[in-house]
Structure 1
Amino acid sequence: MRLRRRTAVAALATMALLAAPTATAHALAGPAPAAATSAATVELPRPTGPYPVGTEVLHLTDHDRTDPWVPEAGDRELMVSLYYPARSGRPSATAPYMSTEEARLMLAARELDGIVPADVVSSTSTHAHTGARAARGHFPLVLLSPGFGTPRATLTSLAEDLASRGYVVASVDHAYESTGTAFPGGRILTCAACDEAEAAPDEAAAREVLRTVSTGRAADLSFVLDRLTGPRPAWQHSRMIDRHRVAAAGHSIGGSAAASTMLADPRVDAGINMDGTFFEPLPATGLDGRPFLMLGTEAGHHPGSDDKSWDEVWQGLDGWKRWLTVKDSGHFTFTDTPALGEQLGLPTDPTAPLSGDRSTRITRDYVSAFLDQHLRGRHQPLLDGPTAGNPEVVFNRP
């Protein structure tokens, strides 16, 4: 799906969708660089924690809910990638990044299908091993939701790194909310919800669609939590999860969904929004004192920016909170995109020149610091204020 309309409705949808073609406009301005079509291998940044990383994919079906976007499809379906701390030993195969068809659809949506071969993206080297033995112990759980129209694979680097640091991560693809997600039976489900948002007759209707995405994802994440920690868990390693230490985090509308999940589910102890508009307002009770991190771009989410939802939510947060913005960043800074784009030889967007290395390090370090402080009770000086080692990170105190 490509965003072509230039109406207020399209502008609203763009805040939550792929930020494309805006995010890739500079890459498309000139001829495609040779590196973008001839790269032999692309690799995710290596995890930084002490644990090897294991991974497993679950297909979950919520028989109590009908899919909101394609009701005739029946019950709500999810694809979940679990990343977990593993034991050392003979390494097994690493997991695929995504299928070639998923990569093709994602590239087409970003108007990169004529520049980057799908098989180059799909064969990106990861660091999580299938069939790895789970580490001994109990570990906090992080529920991770991607941006609207964006596959869960684009948060793989963050998920792998958190698992290497001692977290179990459940990264979720929500049916009919990505450019293309592979489901059992050879099915590739595309973004019916994106089409509905674009077809909205006015801004209010578009916002209502996106609010439905946010609250629907909250129900999805709560269901995943049920299936991972309930009496009949769907995952063979569920006993390693500490169900009393749970966070929800997400990019773009996945960040809005993290807040929505906290509103709906008291089992979620902390939340993170990475550069997403909030589509559900906070009640007068806020989040009942639970901590929340807002981590975004300086251009789009500084205090008083055009997106007023951050100002409004900030005022309503009643527990520990931080509002951090990153200089020279773009909407996809908090995903795998910058690191992979550099390896593919794509030109840097001059409006977001932060390098792939700094994008990865800042995202990993601040997300893990927040989780360490609030799920493990380990004070993190990194969150107390600006540091010389991270001059790009601005602490906003509106």
Structure 2
Amino acid sequence: MSSRRRGAVAVLLAGAVAAGAVTLTACGSGEAAAASSGETAGERSQARRLALPAPTGAHAVGRSSLHLVDNNRRDPWVPKAGARELMVSMYYPAYRPARKPAGTPAPYMSTAGARAFLKEMEVELPADVLSSTRTHTFEGAKARSGTFPLVVLSPGFRTPGATLTGLAEDLASRGYVVAVVDHAYEAAGVAFPGRGILPCAACGKIGPTTFRPAAEGRAKDLRFVLDRLVGKASPWKDAGLIDKRRVAMGGHSLGGAAAAAAMADDPRVRAGVNMDGPFVDSGDASGLSGRPFLMMGTEADHSPGGEDGSWDVVWKRLEGWKRWLTLSGADHFAFTDLAPLAGQLGEDDPEGLPGQRAAGITRDFAGAFFDEHLRHRRTPLFDGPSAANPEVAFQHASGKAAKGA
């Protein structure tokens, strides 16, 4: 992994002894400096805590959780654990009460979960710094009436689905149902009913020979989640919100690879997004049947001819609407919450893409992609490079017109 790819996670999850001075009050370089310059605990308690960027849509955001068990598959990492288990966080458009708050924002992550995650990453950071991050989601909020497109998201390897909360919130606020999937034993910090927080048994086991089966296993997870959500006996009480004809998948890193593989095998998925993840097989493209696909990655590793050659192979085989975007100055975690949270700690790489800006680009382009292909809302955002987004490069732009909208 290149030094650029390690950037955001290194900022937030490493060198964190210094973050002890920031504790729960960090929300930017100014506050971090104040906290380290002798300000009192009482003064620090008044400072804002870490917060996810506010959603851009008109709807309030609700959330509920599902525990799903695939009794037809044994867990690939811990076979003795039995059937494959998944936790799914469902984000959805909710009513916004006119004269009172929608409720108390849902927690970003439990303190125990944050502690397990940080321990896995070997970081000496107070768990509260991460767990107390303010979200814009309300647990169990009343769902709006109507039906909405469904987007299924899968996180990167070792990172819990919570790291995609900001993107999920923004999509839900714009009128999507979003299912963020946590895959058992593939990340630290995720609790399962009756089992507590499961260890990342897969950590240290994924390499060149095991990445493909890991991604294909996740693809089966995603298809199983879709089966349950749109099936006749859905376990989600608000399943009526889902428009079964408008389904998309996306993911970050290993999750992006899994989303592409699942889409290739499942014609129900109308559009897909891979955020800085390899493709597990060039055959992924041949199974997409001309459906829209967005490839969005770092300039360092996912430019044409870059470190990950799978993008070059798949690009040539994609037959439908397609875009290959790279973000200059971005690291591997720029597409997750870790980027804006690191920025709020005053730890943006001065030579890289600021975390808040990375979050804005990710939300804008992912949201516009889903709007265009699930809701037929034409956007100029994909027409080509623009002064409004100078960090975003359109690779193979000369061939865009024949493939574009």
Aligned residue identity for 1:356: G
Distance 1:262 1:310, change over 3 A: same
1:243-269 deviation line (CA, Å, top 9, x unaligned): 110000000110111100111211111
Instruction: Name the structure 2 match of 1:32.
Output: 18
Number of equivalent positions:
372
Instruction: Name the structure 1 match of 2:302.
Output: 301
Q: Distance in 2 between matches of 1:19 and 1:109?
A: 18
Q: Distance in 2 between matches of 1:103 and 1:182?
A: 11
- Give the alignment of 1:110-121 within 5 angstroms: 110-112=121-123, 114=124, 116-121=125-130
Q: Distance in 1 between matches of 2:146 and 2:86?
A: 27
1:64-114 deviation line (CA, Å, top 9, x unaligned): 1111111110011000000000112241222111111221122233343x2
Distance 1:186 1:344, change over 3 A: farther
Aligned residue identity for 1:74: G
Residue 109 (structure 2) aligned to one of 86, 98, 114:
98
Instruction: Name the structure 2 match of 1:335.
Output: 336
Which consecutive residues of structure 1, in runs of 5 or more, have no partner in the other structure?
Answer: 1-10, 198-205
Contact 2:24 2:50 in 1 (8 A): no
- SS of the residue corresponding to residue 142 of structure 2 reads coil
Instruction: Name the structure 1 match of 2:175.
Output: 166
Instruction: Name the structure 2 match of 1:239.
Output: 240
Q: Distance in 2 between matches of 1:26 and 1:96?
A: 19
Q: Distance in 2 between matches of 1:180 and 1:38?
A: 19
Aligned-pair CA distance for 1:33: 4.8
Is residue 2:362 matched to residue 1:344?
Answer: no
Instruction: Name the structure 2 match of 1:73.
Output: 81
Aligned-pair CA distance for 1:314: 0.7
1:171-223 deviation line (CA, Å, top 9, x unaligned): 000001102311112521122122322xxxxxxxx323111111111111111
Contact 2:223 2:262 in 1 (8 A): yes
Distance 1:245 1:284, change over 3 A: closer
Q: TM-score, normalised by structure 1?
A: 0.88
Contact 1:92 1:131 in 2 (8 A): no
Aligned-pair CA distance for 1:35: 4.7
Aligned-pair CA distance for 1:134: 0.8
Contact 1:37 1:344 in 2 (8 A): no
Instruction: Name the structure 2 match of 1:248.
Output: 249
Q: Distance in 1 between matches of 2:5 and 2:214?
A: 17
Aligned residue identity for 1:289: G
Instruction: Name the structure 1 match of 2:132.
Output: 123
Distance 1:23 1:340, change over 3 A: closer
Instruction: Name the structure 1 match of 2:31.
Output: none
1:105-146 deviation line (CA, Å, top 9, x unaligned): 22233343x2x3102211111111112111111100000000
Aligned residue identity for 2:116: L
Instruction: Name the structure 1 match of 2:150.
Output: 141
- SS of the residue corresponding to residue 244 of structure 1 reads strand
Q: Distance in 2 between matches of 1:155 and 1:25?
A: 18
1:286-322 deviation line (CA, Å, top 9, x unaligned): 4100110000110110000021011111111111100
Q: Distance in 1 between matches of 2:235 and 2:13?
A: 42
Relative to structure 2, which stretch is displaced further, 298-307 or 272-281? Answer: 272-281
Provide the aligned C-alpha RMSD in A.
2.2
Which consecutive residues of structure 2, in runs of 5 or more, have no partner in the other structure?
Answer: 26-44, 398-405
Q: TM-score, normalised by structure 2?
A: 0.87
Is residue 2:62 matched to residue 1:54?
Answer: yes
Distance 1:232 1:392, change over 3 A: same
Distance 1:316 1:233, change over 3 A: same
Distance 1:321 1:193, change over 3 A: same
Aligned-pair CA distance for 1:23: 4.5
Aligned residue identity for 1:94: P
Aligned residue identity for 1:97: Y
Q: Once superposed, which parts of structure 1, at least 4 consecutive aligned residues long, lie more than 6 Å away?
A: none
Aligned-pair CA distance for 1:38: 4.7
Instruction: Name the structure 2 match of 1:201.
Output: none
Aligned residue identity for 2:367: S
- SS of the residue corresponding to residue 209 of structure 2 reads helix
Aligned residue identity for 1:330: D
